[in-house]
A and B are shown apart, each in its own frame.
Chain A
Amino acid sequence: MNTSNYQTRAITAIEDPILQAALTNLQQRLGQGAADGYQRFPEGPELRLKGHDIRMNAIDHLDILLSALVDKIEQNGGHVHFAPDARTAVDQCIAIARRHDVSMAVKGKSMLTEEIGLNPALEAAGIETVETDLGEYIVQLAGETPSHIIAPAIHKSREAVGRLFRDKLGIPYTDDPPTLTLAARQALRKKFLQADMGISGCNLACAETGHITTLSNEGNIRMATTLPRVHVAFMGMERIVADLADHDILLRLLSMGAAAQDMAGYVSYIGGPAEKGRTDGPDAFHLIIVDNGRSRILADSDFREILCCIRCGACLNMCPVYGKIGGHAYASAYSGPVGAVVTPLLTGINQASDLCLGESLCGACMPACPVNINLPRMLLLLRAKLAEGDASWNVKIQSRAEQAAFTAWSYLLRNRFLYDLFLKGAYLGQRFLPGTHTMIRRLPFAGKDWTRGRDLKRLAGRSFIQRYRSENQRRKIK
């Protein structure tokens, strides 16, 4: 995978007025909503710092927490599988499906399953796989990929959904969201009731009690994990906290960061298959814990912090770049600021270089994050590896020409006389550049990308330092 289409897709997104309106609306509602919500915590927005400590503590004790979780789930009759990579995770799921004679599975939203490419593999294995989160369902019917972690179909207008449902569900065309939602409710209910297997992710496991937890507002995850006879849960290995007190705080932070809510509509603690004597619930529970590059991130103390992420999407909802380019430009399960850090680390820093470089580093993501992850710090580090190479992450220097230019510049800076000469040369050279008396309209070479959309102030005839020097000399003479 590579992100070479980043700019092209970004431009497509920027020129799509429907998407632009949808992104503006989303960021105002959810982004600003969460920011206001953090202020309303009884503990204040400082709760985010506590959340950060809780998550870092969990990551630093990941071996202990995971072992405790696994022991308890197995004691309760659940099965736990360990997947060092995507292929293994997918194969394990297919094996489970075969063992239980599964022909149709219903899925709750799980970015991890997007990351490992689960759906196409299940379909190829002859297992019908139905997304049940409304946004994911829309995206699946349309044959597209999600463009936001929490609102996957944010890029689709109501008219587009209306046409889609008319074509795929055979209902008369309508663009009324309640009517469209009702059509999905009815269509998906049939699937829930017939499905052999339910697939979910895991928002945050609790080591102390031995449960995974899942959050939703629609109720689709409850449906998928209650009605079918088999439940398979996928868990990124880092998605765990130590105990109930930690979970209390993280649950509130996650609800607020994800959807500006005091509490998500439905939260389920699931610790194994349904117990003896119960009326409903799955006969079998399988937890697939996935590494797929996370342990490598864990081993690097500079990047370990990104494992604190609870995949709420709050950073997407504040990012001015995401707000313009949408999720598809990132060509990854993870978009926005978190995607810009985690995707290069999971898939290759050179391959995903556009994600490391393609944002303005405004820093709005960090205060937006419910656990205060320092994303800008890690973006800067990724850029350093691209600029200067890195052996441990297999990063080749992205541009030797750029490196040479900055090196030359750094030596030029050390000599004011040469620097002044350089400025003089540039000043003389710019006389040939078209524009007005004060503004340049067209720059050559790399500068042309600036002047495609903007003018640039002309270099001053004399720099400030030169003026100050001569003013001082004039005073001295006086």
Chain B
Amino acid sequence: MRVTLFVQCLVDSLYPEVGEAMVALFNRLGISVRVPTNQTCCGQPAFNAGHRKAAGRAAKRFITIFEDAEVIVCPSGSCVAMVRHHYPELFANDQKWLGRAARIGRKTFELSQYLVDVLGIDDVGACYPGKVTYHDSCHLLRGLGVAEQPRRLIRNIRRAELVEMNASDRCCGFGGTFAVKYPDISVAMVDEKIDNIIASGADTVTGCDISCLMNIQGRLSRIGSPVKTLHLAQLLAG
């Protein structure tokens, strides 16, 4: 039984430590891992911005690289939602690719969903001293229905205390190209998120989507806040 990792383009280029944490985590769990080294991007940034032809090219590449895997695990809820929900849309008029897209969607999972729902594990033997608050990423929560799984995992991290923030399910304001096309609105939204993070008393904010965390971390850094931003995988690998 092998898990094939799709690490996500942002993790690959900006947050490789998250990918490394995932590998370390699966090693600790005794689960064999393989990483296709020609992977790049699922196509979501293009799709969200309306560029479906470009997204289609990325999608076909993803499918070609990953479709022989037993199971694909990804640290990003939005990428998994892209594969499961939008790949069939992209290939709605292409019978050949539509079937392949449907098949791969069925075996692609976000990390916390895979651990808790598929493997039945909610305690990975992790340790992290700190007050942790969890941000519900939009696609993970509303696209995949995942909310309880990350929380169960966090509650079982030794020495970590899970503190819920107000409106944890409210969008952080990233939204892909929205963040650079409408920066004032985006920053106003992330400021509201950060107000809630700070009000929760947490010293660490975590989540299952590095794009949200990149957005939150970027603003936390700009305002000089000591709150740490860590992906769930990093907490679980600790």
**Is chain B in direct contact with chain A in the complex (CB below 8 A)?**
yes
Contact A320/B173 with A387-B51, A457-B214 known, Cβ cut-off 8 Å: yes
Listed A/B pairs (13) with beta-carbon separation below 8 Å: A7-B182, A359-B178, A407-B53, A410-B57, A413-B40, A450-B179, A454-B219, A456-B214, A456-B218, A460-B15, A464-B11, A465-B12, A467-B20
**Interchain CB contact under 8 A, A364 and B181:** no
The verdict on B170 contacting chain A, using a C-beta distance below 8 Å, is yes
**Interchain CB contact under 8 A, B50 and A464:** no
The verdict on B139 contacting chain A, using a C-beta distance below 8 Å, is yes
Query: B40 contacts which chain A residues (CB < 8 A)?
Result: 413-414, 416, 419
**Interchain CB contact under 8 A, B182 and A411:** no
CA distance A469 to B19 in the complex (A): 13
Query: A406 contacts which chain B residues (CB < 8 A)?
Result: 45-46, 49, 51, 54
Interface segment among B95-103, B125-133, B155-163, B185-193: the answer is B185-193
Contact A360/B171 with A413-B61, A456-B218, A459-B13 known, Cβ cut-off 8 Å: yes
B-contact bits for A411-427, CB 8 A (1 contact / 0 none): 10110100100010010
**B25 → chain A, closest Cβ, in Å?**
14
The verdict on A56 contacting chain B, using a C-beta distance below 8 Å, is no
CA distance A463 to B19 in the complex (A): 10
Q: In residues 345-385 of chain A, which contact B (Cβ within 8 Å)?
A: 357-364, 366-367, 380, 382-385
Interface segment among B31-39, B66-74, B115-123: the answer is B31-39
**Interchain CB contact under 8 A, B55 and A449:** no
Nearest opposing residue in chain A for B172, CB measure: A360
Query: B189 contacts which chain A residues (CB < 8 A)?
Result: 320-321, 324, 360
Chain B interface, >50% SS class: helix
The size of the chain B interface, using a CB distance under 8 A, is 65
CA distance A413 to B54 in the complex (A): 10
**Interchain CB contact under 8 A, B61 and A414:** yes
Contact A364/B184 with A380-B48, A459-B13 known, Cβ cut-off 8 Å: no
Nearest opposing residue in chain B for A414, CB measure: B61
Q: In residues 1-51 of chain A, which contact B (Cβ within 8 Å)?
A: 7, 10-11, 14
The verdict on A85 contacting chain B, using a C-beta distance below 8 Å, is no
Shortest beta-carbon contacts, A-B, top 6: A360-B175, A387-B50, A383-B50, A454-B218, A362-B171, A464-B19
B-contact bits for A117-135, CB 8 A (1 contact / 0 none): 0000000000000000000
**Interchain CB contact under 8 A, A363 and B178:** no
CA distance A362 to B77 in the complex (A): 13
**A192 → chain B, closest Cβ, in Å?**
41
CA distance A423 to B16 in the complex (A): 13
Contact A367/B41 with A361-B175, A453-B219, A459-B14 known, Cβ cut-off 8 Å: no
Nearest opposing residue in chain A for B190, CB measure: A454
CA distance A447 to B177 in the complex (A): 10
CA distance A363 to B214 in the complex (A): 20
**Interchain CB contact under 8 A, A416 and B142:** no
Nearest opposing residue in chain B for A329, CB measure: B185
**Interchain CB contact under 8 A, A450 and B49:** no
B-contact bits for A435-470, CB 8 A (1 contact / 0 none): 000010000001101101111111110111101110
Which residues of A come within 8 Å of B, CB atoms? 7, 10-11, 14, 320-321, 324-325, 357-364, 366-367, 380, 382-388, 402-403, 406-407, 409-411, 413-414, 416, 419, 423, 426, 439, 446-447, 449-450, 452-460, 462-465, 467-469
User: Which of A362, A364, A450, A464 has most chain B Cβ within 10 Å?
Assistant: A464
CA distance A324 to B39 in the complex (A): 38
Query: B192 contacts which chain A residues (CB < 8 A)?
Result: 320, 324
User: Which of B53, B175, B188, B219 has most chain A Cβ within 10 Å?
Assistant: B188
The verdict on B200 contacting chain A, using a C-beta distance below 8 Å, is no
**B67 → chain A, closest Cβ, in Å?**
16
Nearest opposing residue in chain A for B64, CB measure: A414
**A335 → chain B, closest Cβ, in Å?**
14
**Interchain CB contact under 8 A, B176 and A361:** yes
Query: A388 contacts which chain B residues (CB < 8 A)?
Result: 50-53
Name the contact of A359 in the complex, choosing from B16, B175, B222 (C-beta under 8 A).
B175
Contact A380/B185 with A360-B175, A455-B218, A465-B35 known, Cβ cut-off 8 Å: no
**Interchain CB contact under 8 A, B50 and A454:** no
Query: B55 contacts which chain A residues (CB < 8 A)?
Result: 410
Nearest opposing residue in chain B for A403, CB measure: B51
**B150 → chain A, closest Cβ, in Å?**
18
Nearest opposing residue in chain A for B40, CB measure: A413
Query: A463 contacts which chain B residues (CB < 8 A)?
Result: 12-13, 16
Query: B222 contacts which chain A residues (CB < 8 A)?
Result: 453-455
CA distance A363 to B143 in the complex (A): 8
Contact A7/B184 with A362-B171, A387-B49, A464-B7 known, Cβ cut-off 8 Å: yes
Query: A385 contacts which chain B residues (CB < 8 A)?
Result: 50
Query: A403 contacts which chain B residues (CB < 8 A)?
Result: 51
**Interchain CB contact under 8 A, B185 and A324:** yes
Query: A382 contacts which chain B residues (CB < 8 A)?
Result: 50
Contact A449/B57 with A361-B175, A416-B40, A463-B13 known, Cβ cut-off 8 Å: no
**Interchain CB contact under 8 A, A452 and B183:** yes
Nearest opposing residue in chain A for B170, CB measure: A320
**Interchain CB contact under 8 A, A383 and B49:** yes
CA distance A452 to B138 in the complex (A): 24
